[in-house]
Every structure is written in C-alpha cells, then in structure tokens.
Structure 1
Amino acid sequence: MEKNSNMPPIYIVSGGKGVAGHTLVESMLIQYPEHKIPVIIEPEVSTQEQIDAITDKVIKTNGVVAHTMVDHVVRRKLIDSCETKNIRHFDLVGNMTDYLDTVLDMKPADQPGLYRLRDMEYYRRVRAIEFTMMHDDGQHTDKIATADIVLAGVSRTGKTPLSIYLAMFGWKVANVPIVPGTPVPETLFQIDPRRVFGLTISMAYLIAQRSSRVSRINMDPNSDYIDRRKVRMELDYAANLFKKGGFTVLNISNKPIEYSANEILTILTSRFGSDKWTKDEEH
C-alpha cells in the first residue's frame, strides 16, 4: 500500500511532558507499519489560551486530539473546546481517572508528570550513589567538578559515611583525603569553592577515633597516626588548605551524620536555592 504523506496529525495534549500519551499512541501506530501519520506533542498545557491556540492548529491541519490531562478542570476545558470546534478527541486517561475518583472516594493530586518525576528521582539517587562510590577517597579527582558537593579532610573525619548518606538523597558527592606530604589534586582548587566543605574535628576526638581503628586492625600503637604532635600538624595543614581554597569549614566533632548533612544542605540551599539538582545533566 502506498504511504499517504498528507495524513491528519495526531496532537498529544498533556499537562506534563506528554511522554505517556506519546508512548501509548506510538504503541498503537506501530501496528500499522505503512502509516505516515504525524504525531505532535503539545506539553505542559494548563491555560485556556494554550488550549485555544492548540485547537486552532488542529482545525487548520484537520487533525485530532489525544489527551492525557490529569487535572480535572483543564481536561474539561480541553474537551469543551474540542466539542465546540467539532474536533475529534480521545481521552486517554479520563475514564480511568473518573473510576478511581469514585472507587477510592478521594481527590487525586491533579499534578502532571508525577510518575515520571518519581521515576527520575529514583534513577537520580542511583546515579548519585554510583558517582559517590566512584569518587570516594580521592578517586577520579579529574572529574570532581561534576559533583554537587565535595568533602575534604584528614583521615577519620567521616568523609565516606557522610558522602554516602548525602548520596542517598540524590546528591553527587566526591571526597578528597588531606594527607601531609601527599599533593592535593589541583582540581580541588579549580571548582566552585562554595560546593567544597572542609571537614575538621577536635584533636581529642580525632585521636579517639583513630585509636579505635588502631585497635581494630592491629596497627602499631606508637604510630604517627595517633601521635598528638603529628595529628596536630595534620589538622593545621588541612586548615591552611581550606583557607587557601576559600572552602566552608565544618566541625564534625561529636555530631551525628544526619546533623552534619543537614548543615551542608542548609548552606547549599542558602547559596543555590532549593533545587538540589542544579548540577544534574537533566536539569
């Protein structure tokens, strides 16, 4: 059969991105491999003005409307406009929504794209955890500019557990160890310093943390790792680096991870606003 290049288009009208409606229509059209029906997505429709403009286009192209409007009020406006202008229209979700309203005896959220948003957030969290594990303890420092948060600090300042905790909420975190005598990656001073947090800790608390580790892994108890003078030098060295980079210093002494994470998120919100996905590739 010869393809018809002048087929009337199908307009997918949605209060969200139109992905669900487009998928459904395309899954039906695939059953007609010789078709040449244009499919046009009209996303984020919420006003009468948008509806009027779309239905006017539909009339000019002799098209039809397939819609997935979850907002009851906007859906009614679209249907009324189609019927007033004698436009053929297909409600892809309305009957099911009306049924659920009745059987559940409750009002829907009427928020377009909720499923997509939930799906996106899940995968963002997965990606954040993967990113954080790949950038733990100074790994791949050449790519830390893509992190939402960078943590720096001497050994046993809780960089890894704090990084993972933040990643569970969707933040991409890199952490960089500060070790006297070991060069700090230059990339640490090339990224936005407002995203870098230098973790510090009281000397007594740090020595206690390290002593516990020394006991667990049978290290030499006379090691420089817990020598007061050496530990003091490490903390001073880190403090100087934080000052050089203009990083935010966060004292984590005797603080639970949740408290430190909340401090970081509060500071970031005040600096960048409430959108935590500012560095996400999909933002």
Structure 2
Amino acid sequence: MQAPKLPPSPPSPSLARANSNSSRIRANIRGRLNIIPPDPPSISTSTPSPTTPKLKLSKGSAQLNRWSRARTLRSGRRLERSKNQDATTITSPSPSRSPPSGVVMIVSDETTESSEEDDVISPPGGKVIYMVSDGTGWTLEHAVNASLGQFEHCLVDRACAVNTHLFSGIDNFERVVGILKQAAKVGALLLYTLADPSMAESTQQACKLWGVPAVNILRPTTVAIASHLGVEPSGIPRSERNIPLSEEYFRRIEAIDFTIKQDDGALPQHLHRADIVLVGVSRTGKTPLSIYLAQKGYKVANVPIVMGVNLPRALFDMDHQEKVFGLTINPMVLHTIRKARAKTLGFDNEMKSTYSDMDHVRQELEHAGKIYARNPAWPIIEMTGKAIEETAAVIVRIYHDKKHKCSMPSISKRY
C-alpha cells in the first residue's frame, strides 16, 4: 500500500523575498547596464607524449637560491621554464556586445590595438588576481600578500607567476563593470572589499553572469561582528564617513617625526624618550624597521654598532633597558647585502674591503654579540630571512609583554 502523496508546502515568506530580491538585482544589472555575459574561456591543454618525463615539484632548494629567485620574480625578470613543462593556452572570451556608453573602462576595449595599459592589466603569462576596493585597498592587498605566502613552493620553485592588480577608490558600479569585463577576458580571480551592501551584492551577481570567480573579503568578518554585537553595519565606505582626526593619528605623526630625527644614532640625549631602541651593525635593517614601527605609532630610535666606536652613555643610563632590542643576522647574508650596497654606492676595491669583506663582517657581528652578552636585558632579534613586517610584529609583541607583564601577551586596543 503506497502512502498518499502530500501536497508541496508553500515557500516561506523570507525565502520568497530573498528570491525576489535576487531576481530583481539580476534584472537590474542586465536591464540597466545591458550586460551580456561573455562566452566561457576555452582552455586547451596539450597532452605530453608518453616519453615526456613528468616534472616533479622541487621540495628542497637552498634558502639563498630561493631568495635569489624570489628577487628575480619581484624585479620583473622571467625565469626560464623547462621545455618539458605542459603548455596551456587560454583563449580570452569575447563579449558579443560592447558595454553601453557611460561605463567607465579601466582598460581599453578589445577593438583597440594592444596598448600600454593592456600590457599591464593582461600580462602574457601567469595567473591574474584583480583586487577591487572602495577605499585605499590596504586591507585587501595585505590579505592577498599573506595568502600568497602559502604558495611559495609554486611561486618561487616552479616560477609560477601571479600578477596582482589593485583598483582602489572604486565608488560606483559602472566602474566595477569595466573591471569585470577585463577580468573575464584574462580569466582573473576577483577579490573585493566593498562596504555598500547593494554594490557588493550587484558585484557578486555580475561576477556570476560573466563567469568570473569572486570573493568578498570583508563579508565573513562583518557578518560575524554584526551577529556578535547585535547591530547592523552601516554599509558606508570609509571615504564617505566624516571621521575626525583622532589622538592616535596625531600620535603616529609625532612618532614618525621623532623617529626620523633619531635615525642612525642622532641626538642620543633623547634616547630616554623613545618607546623602542634598536641597535645593530650596519645593514641589519634598523632604519626601515624604525620607520615601519613609527607608522604604527611607536617612537623609535636606532643606534649603530661600529667597531672602535663606543656606544652612547645615554643608551645604558636609561631606566627601562628592556626596550632596547639588538638586531643580528647571518654573516653570509650580511656579506651579500653589503656587497650589493657597496656596488650601488660606487665604492672602490679598497673601500669595499673594509665594509663588505667577509672577515670584517664576521668580526663586526662577533663584536655586537659580545655587547649583547653584557646586556642580558636586551632581547635579540634575528633578522635573517624575515620581512620587516614579521620582525616588527615580534618586537611589538615583546614590547607589550614586558610593558604590561601579563600571562597572555596581546596587543590591546579600545574602540
């Protein structure tokens, strides 16, 4: 005996409203802007012959070689690939109709001959990531850089280039459409931070129509905070908010001014006013690290360690010796950096021997190590292979840990 079929339950009002809103957005995008999705990109991959050996991923290469290859990629030069690699060609989609008048195009249309802008936006090799922001793009750019760090084995060892392009200050949907058209042509991934909910939703729907993979970077965090606070977000871009200059802003300006004046051991009588003091031999990154920390609001002074020159007495007379940080680095790396620096400055061979000679480099680092040993309150920071941001994060964490002396060190702020 078969059970009687039940009539389908009517859709809930919330689901019906959601479907209605989604349909209205699609109709608005297609009708108002007359968007016609392009044909999907045709991807043809040549199949290697059976005799072609498979290229295995290189898991272990010398660290210095990886840095060298990374610098080569960042400088814009292309590394030669193996001839046995698979060849993949991507044919760009061509929209059947051009966008309506009034749409601001970021790149010249495909009917125009290849221009300088087209070479920048659609490079011939590698994957492409487009970043769209209604503000400065700082959040988006740093999020992408942090994520790309997880693919170093591909970016460096295999020379798999990734080309990122940041579009900041995008404050209307017409400009987004122009970017989407180019993204569809080059097969780019679109990452965006748009505070306006309607603009963000329209962008997501347009990406679906054009077949462009897209991710709203801010949405998960914003939704989670809204749920936690029980308050809806304003949806107003930062550029449109009248935010008065805060005390933190003026503190940062004061910190930058102080740090510039205290560079390279200048004005030692003011060392006690610094929040952080950096000491180390030449080319260990004292100045760039000082400027980066100053932009975070910390007053930083840096003092060079030079053989035959005594450190200023004021450095040892400060009450809080724990705010002094000693910088050290691998001798081979420092030797390479100094050789490049000497070449840039045009030093002759005699001057090079006293600055970038390997024995002299080792002696300077040993001299600095003895000074650090006599001052155990100074934390020692290893600079080898670390970015300025990484080192700054370590210093700030230690600084706050020693300042607040808490069991769980953290960098705390109140909004």
Farther-moved stretch of structure 1 (260-269 vs 168-177): 260-269
Q: How does 1:150-229 map to 2 (within 5 A)?
A: 150-191=277-318, 192-221=320-349, 222-229=352-359
Q: Report the CA distance between 1:148 and its aligned residue.
A: 0.5
- Which residue is equivalent to 1:238? 368
Q: How does 1:61-72 map to 2 (within 5 A)?
A: none
What amino acid is aligned across from residue 169 of structure 1 in structure 2? K
Q: How many Å separate the matches in 1 of 2:331 and 2:390?
A: 20
Using a 3 Å threshold, how does the CA distance of structure 1 residues 107 and 155 change in structure 2: closer, same or farther? closer
Q: Root-mean-square deviation (CA), in Å?
A: 2.3
Using a 3 Å threshold, how does the CA distance of structure 1 residues 227 and 123 change in structure 2: closer, same or farther? same
TM-score (norm 1): 0.55
Count of aligned positions: 167
| Cα deviation 1:139-159 (Å, max 9, x = unaligned) | 011111110000000000000
Structure 2 stretches lacking a partner, 5+ long? 1-230, 235-242, 405-409
Q: How many Å separate the matches in 2 of 1:216 and 1:227?
A: 16
Q: Report the CA distance between 1:175 and its aligned residue.
A: 0.1
Q: How many Å separate the matches in 1 of 2:273 and 2:411?
A: 16
Q: Report the CA distance between 1:270 and its aligned residue.
A: 1.4
Alignment match of 2:260 (pick from 124, 133, 139): 133
Q: Report the CA distance between 1:220 and its aligned residue.
A: 2.2
- Which residue is equivalent to 1:270? 401
Secondary structure of the structure 2 residue equivalent to 1:223: helix
Q: How many Å separate the matches in 1 of 2:311 and 2:270?
A: 14
- Which residue is equivalent to 1:250? 381
| Cα deviation 1:215-244 (Å, max 9, x = unaligned) | 111112342111111111111111111222
Q: How many Å separate the matches in 2 of 1:198 and 1:276?
A: 25
Structure 2 contact 397–411 (Cα < 8 Å) conserved: no
Q: How many Å separate the matches in 1 of 2:412 and 2:317?
A: 21
Higher relative contact order (CA 8 A, sep 6+): 1
Secondary structure of the structure 2 residue equivalent to 1:176: strand
Structure 1 stretches lacking a partner, 5+ long? 1-104, 109-114, 278-283
Q: How many Å separate the matches in 2 of 1:161 and 1:276?
A: 24
Identity value in percent? 42
What amino acid is aligned across from residue 254 of structure 1 in structure 2? G
What amino acid is aligned across from residue 328 of structure 2 in structure 1? T
Are 2:272 and 1:142 aligned? no
Structure 1 contact 132–172 (Cα < 8 Å) conserved: yes
Q: How many Å separate the matches in 2 of 1:271 and 1:214?
A: 38
